[in-house]
Amino acid sequence: MLLIERVHGKDLSGLNAVVVGRSNIVGKPMANLLLAANATVTVAHSRTKNLPELCRGADILVAAVGRPEMIKGEWVRPGTTVIDVGINRIAAPEKGNGKNRLVGDVAYAEAVDHAGAITPVPGGVGPMTIALLMANTLTSAYLASNLPRPQF
């Protein structure tokens, strides 16, 4: 949400968000957070009919479906904010026999030209997760010691 808020602010009223993925770990909680920020939210998955068309209607597109590069660049409307939560290993014969590389659920090389903002894989949501884990740990330590909540 911090990545989305950086682009759109805290109030997402009037924006259409599509979350591709319905897991209890990412998809459903993300949909609830977007709803709480007043976005109009659609939850889709790998078997959703007309998924490309649905994605093209998104102002905010969150990919958490668990399929390498499933979301194609042509599915991303110009200016869309794309948050790629997926992390998948695929074969990378160019690196050598038996080697692999990490990719997200979005075909980044295709989508980057369409998106207004996009998170890469690796290097996007993962580092943010670690940074927020550290911030939450520090906040918990402060509060447990009856100190005022730190500001970041």
Total-model pTM:
0.91
Tell me the CATH number at 6: 3.40.50.720
Give per-residue pLDDT as tens, 125-134. 999 999 999 9
Domain containing 83 equals 2-121
Q: Residue 23: exposed, middle, or buried by beta-carbon count in 10 A (0-12, 13-18, 19+)?
A: middle
Residue 40 is predicted with a pLDDT of 98
18 and 61 inside one domain: yes
Number of structural domains in the chain: 2
127 and 64 inside one domain: no
Give per-residue pLDDT as tens, 8-34. 999 999 999 999 999 999 999 999 999
47 and 72 inside one domain: yes
57 and 130 inside one domain: no
pLDDT band at 152; cut points 50, 70, 90? confident
Give per-residue pLDDT as tens, 58-117. 999 999 999 999 999 999 999 999 999 999 999 998 888 989 999 999 999 999 999 999
76 and 149 inside one domain: no
- DSSP, residue by residue, the chain: -HHHHHHH-S--TT-EEEEE---TTTHHHHHHHHHHTT-EEEEE-TT-TTHHHHHHT-SEEEE-S-STT-B-GGGSPTT-EEEE---EEEE-GGG-TT-EEEE-SB-HHHHTTT-SEE--TTTSHHHHHHHHHHHHHHHHHHHHTTPPPP--
40 and 72 inside one domain: yes
